[in-house]
Chains A and B, each alone.
Chain A
Amino acid sequence: MTADVSFWIVQALNALQLSMLFFLLSVGLTVIFGLLHFVNLAHGALYALGAFVGFTAATLAGSYWAAFAAAPIVVALVGVLLYWALIRRMRSAGPMNQVLVTFGLIFVFLDVFRIGWGDIALGFAEPELFSGRSELLGVVYPTYRLFIIGLGLAVLAALSLVLTRTQIGAIIRAGVDNDAMAACMGINVERVFFLVFCVGCALAGLAGAVAAPVLSVTTDMGTAILIPTLIVVVIGGLGSLKGAIAGSLLIGFVQTFGSVLAPQLAAILIYALLAGVLILKPAGLFPARG
């Protein structure tokens, strides 16, 4: 390997960038899990929807920022539809029926993408503003990747502010702790659930639009990202912001440095990590409920 410090700084930035992508995806999923007790396997499909909607918006408007704006809005609207048509009814239907319904949604979305956008992989460019490279900590690094890191940190800061400092945040935390009790205290839990679900969907859509310029937009991208996202959520512990960020950082760094230091094991590492964590801490590292 190399003893060059800048090499390790770049790899650390790579790890941070990957962690932030995971964070944007997993934070919505984990709060929906924790608050609604709802297993949304279609979360990955919503991420893919964000990427496809972003592709269309960016192509039509000729600007990346159209994708950045349209993806979270459109995906949140789809989330509203899903909530009223299915999710609300499924909340009391038990986890097995939730698995069946959201697995059905994965299948439906897969063909919606095929019919709407075709089978050929797509891509769109990063914004002009963040193209090229910048210098940071003495290394030259792709600016767009720095933007992803910054965006992830901004979302983290905003969410933690809302959760710890505002009334709605207190209500959400109360709901995660004990939703029946919160309802008894006169809180309209249904409305909070709905709001949280929509924000979670919007974040998934945003993650799709943000990841697309780095990756490619393919019909199976939602299924491919589902498992890593679930791993992040489960390792961190369900329902907590702290868990989501801890899980994201752990997976991002293990995957990046694993592929640098032990490339033969790269495919197995995150599963080994998951198994190890669950054997030692059967409810993840930072469960929201004791």
Chain B
Amino acid sequence: MTRLNRFLLAGAAMLLAAPSVGQAEDYKVGLLLPYSGVYAALGQEIDDGFMLALKERGGEIADAQIEVVREDTEVKPPVGLSKARKLILQDEIDVMVGIVSSGVLGAIRDFVHQSGTPLIVANAGNDDATGARCSAYITRQSFSNGQVNRPMGPWMFENGIKTVYTLAPDYAAGHQMIDNFKAAFEEAGGKVVGQEFTPFQTTKDFGPYLTKAKAAGPDAIFVFYAGGEAISFVKQYASFGLSEEVPLYGSGFLTSPLYVNAEGPAAEGVIAGLHYIPTLDTPENKAFVEAYTRDHGKAPSEYAVQGYDAGQALVEAIKSGATDKEALAAALSKVSFTSPRGPVEIDPATNNIVQNIYVFETVAGSDGLTQKLLGTVEAVRDPVNGCAM
């Protein structure tokens, strides 16, 4: 897909109003996202968030012209790599933004690194991408799998959960999420009494696993599931009556605002940790939620904020005066700003984002389900994990 989208940010009024530091330059941005396949909804949210950031903050770099080129990864690593080559070699983009699946990120990482093209990761959470396989050109504005799950360990222990049973799909991200949680929970003093990894995207019936988890008699169940699997899991968890006996905790994707209403009342009472919830009470978030809801008729999810912040990071980098790819990459790994999700900055040691993790409970609101903030773990920073730039 090459729907060229010329985004002209020049406007005479804005030119006068905004104290512009940027240079008169043309920037070409390649949005590499899934627009078809299982993650198409995520790709669209990120795209919408990114475009909103350019629209809102474009005035600050009013004499710069930003052109956006879109390509569809179809969530297939080889396709993603082909499209990355096309964007970099043929379209000669200055910055690449996007990447939902860690598989696609793994496939394009070496090529992006060798070509010296700055990449702002807007979702893919593989710890290695800002660990052993980190790159000076790759900054992450979304999250790492470890970052989202580690804080839940001590938080749950402090809130009286001593033993936990874990469940997650059997693929790399599932293992990373659970392993990080488990290490942190056991370090805090808790005990994981059992764990199971379910076949990824082929498990329809969680009944056998839920029955097993219940039989193990833990204080709580901690899981990572996303998308369709999250909906099936939460509904089946409730239908077995486990919500009355063993509370459900998880990685916040379990009850993402993107699809939590499909889970219905079953999701009420589920407690999870995530880097963003749309009910945060800050002026930045209120403005963001209002603008996003006005444009798209629904509240933003964590995916939308990731796209939005990728856009904000780009604006910040251009504002700092960076014009070529080398300078943009350097500037991108130094950005810090107040995002709708709170203060964020890039950790120069790993190029991963440093951000708050919010523990929230899904509760019934006036129209549909909403998120109640229970606690905030501030400025969560990943360990260096073998990263050497």
Choose the segment among A36-44, A137-145, A149-157, A240-248 that binds chain B (4+ C-beta atoms closer than 8 Å): A137-145
Residues of A within 8 A of B199 (CB): 259, 266-267
Pairwise interchain contact A123-B231, C-beta atoms closer than 8 A: yes
Residues of B within 8 A of A118 (CB): 41
Pairwise interchain contact B227-A218, C-beta atoms closer than 8 A: yes
Shortest Cβ distance from residue B231 to the other chain A in the assembled complex, whole angstroms: 4
Closest A residue by C-beta to B259 = A121
Pairwise interchain contact A123-B204, C-beta atoms closer than 8 A: no
Cα distance, A122 to B227, chains bound together (Å): 9
Pairwise interchain contact B215-A4, C-beta atoms closer than 8 A: yes
Interface residues of B in 180-234 (CB under 8 A from A): 196-205, 207-209, 211-212, 215, 227-229, 231-232
Pairwise interchain contact B205-A18, C-beta atoms closer than 8 A: yes
Cα distance, A122 to B52, chains bound together (Å): 26
Pairwise interchain contact B227-A121, C-beta atoms closer than 8 A: yes
Task: Map CB proximity to B onto A103-134 as digits: 1 under 8 Å, 0 otherwise.
Answer: 00000000000100011111111100000010
* Contact of A216 with B211 at beta-carbon distance under 8 Å, contacts A224-B201, A259-B198, A267-B170 already known: no
Residues of A within 8 A of B229 (CB): 216
* Contact of A256 with B207 at beta-carbon distance under 8 Å, contacts A119-B41, A216-B232 already known: yes
Pairwise interchain contact A215-B211, C-beta atoms closer than 8 A: no
Quick check: is B241 within 8 A (CB to CB) of the other chain? yes
Quick check: is B7 within 8 A (CB to CB) of the other chain? no
Taking a contact as CB atoms closer than 8 A, the residue among A11, A121, A211 that contacts B211 in the complex is A11
Cα distance, A214 to B198, chains bound together (Å): 17
Shortest Cβ distance from residue A120 to the other chain B in the assembled complex, whole angstroms: 5
Residues of A within 8 A of B41 (CB): 118-121
Residues of A within 8 A of B211 (CB): 7, 10-11, 14, 260
Residues of B within 8 A of A126 (CB): 239
Shortest Cβ distance from residue B375 to the other chain A in the assembled complex, whole angstroms: 28
Cα distance, A145 to B241, chains bound together (Å): 13
Quick check: is B44 within 8 A (CB to CB) of the other chain? yes
Quick check: is A220 within 8 A (CB to CB) of the other chain? yes
What is the size, in residues, of chain A's interface with B at 8 Å between Cβ atoms? Answer: 43
Quick check: is A282 within 8 A (CB to CB) of the other chain? no
Taking a contact as CB atoms closer than 8 A, the residue among A7, A214, A267 that contacts B239 in the complex is A214
Interface residues of A in 242-290 (CB under 8 A from B): 255-257, 259-260, 263, 266-267
Pairwise interchain contact A123-B227, C-beta atoms closer than 8 A: no
Shortest Cβ distance from residue A6 to the other chain B in the assembled complex, whole angstroms: 9
Quick check: is A213 within 8 A (CB to CB) of the other chain? yes
Quick check: is A98 within 8 A (CB to CB) of the other chain? no
Quick check: is A2 within 8 A (CB to CB) of the other chain? yes
Quick check: is B380 within 8 A (CB to CB) of the other chain? no
Pairwise interchain contact A218-B228, C-beta atoms closer than 8 A: yes
Cα distance, A159 to B241, chains bound together (Å): 34
Quick check: is A17 within 8 A (CB to CB) of the other chain? yes
Pairwise interchain contact A145-B207, C-beta atoms closer than 8 A: yes
Quick check: is A163 within 8 A (CB to CB) of the other chain? no
Pairwise interchain contact B204-A17, C-beta atoms closer than 8 A: no
Pairwise interchain contact A140-B241, C-beta atoms closer than 8 A: yes
Cα distance, A211 to B236, chains bound together (Å): 12
Residues of A within 8 A of B209 (CB): 259
Shortest Cβ distance from residue A279 to the other chain B in the assembled complex, whole angstroms: 23
Shortest Cβ distance from residue B61 to the other chain A in the assembled complex, whole angstroms: 32
Cα distance, A257 to B207, chains bound together (Å): 11
Interface residues of A in 211-239 (CB under 8 A from B): 211, 213-218, 220-221, 224-225
Quick check: is B322 within 8 A (CB to CB) of the other chain? no
Pairwise interchain contact A120-B204, C-beta atoms closer than 8 A: no
Pairwise interchain contact B241-A11, C-beta atoms closer than 8 A: no
Pairwise interchain contact A259-B227, C-beta atoms closer than 8 A: no
Taking a contact as CB atoms closer than 8 A, the residue among B36, B40, B262 that contacts A216 in the complex is B262
Pairwise interchain contact B264-A123, C-beta atoms closer than 8 A: yes
Taking a contact as CB atoms closer than 8 A, the residue among B44, B239, B259 that contacts A144 in the complex is B239
* Contact of A214 with B236 at beta-carbon distance under 8 Å, contacts A121-B228, A140-B241, A259-B198 already known: yes
Taking a contact as CB atoms closer than 8 A, the residue among B44, B215, B232 that contacts A215 in the complex is B232
Task: Map CB proximity to A onto B257-275 as digits: 1 under 8 Å, 0 otherwise.
Answer: 0110011110000000000
Residues of B within 8 A of A18 (CB): 204-205, 207
Pairwise interchain contact B235-A120, C-beta atoms closer than 8 A: no
* Contact of A121 with B262 at beta-carbon distance under 8 Å, contacts A215-B232, A260-B212, A266-B199 already known: yes
* Contact of A142 with B235 at beta-carbon distance under 8 Å, contacts A224-B201, A259-B208 already known: no
Quick check: is B337 within 8 A (CB to CB) of the other chain? no
Residues of B within 8 A of A218 (CB): 38, 227-228
Cα distance, A267 to B197, chains bound together (Å): 10
Q: What would 18 A/B residue contacts be, using CB atoms closer than 8 Å?
A: A10-B211, A11-B211, A114-B40, A119-B44, A121-B231, A121-B259, A123-B263, A124-B262, A124-B264, A125-B264, A133-B239, A140-B241, A142-B239, A142-B241, A216-B259, A263-B196, A267-B200, A267-B202
B residues apposed to A, CB below 8 Å: 36, 38, 40-41, 44, 170, 196-205, 207-209, 211-212, 215, 227-229, 231-232, 235-236, 239-241, 258-259, 262-265
**3 nearest A-B residue pairs (beta carbon):** A216-B231, A123-B262, A119-B41
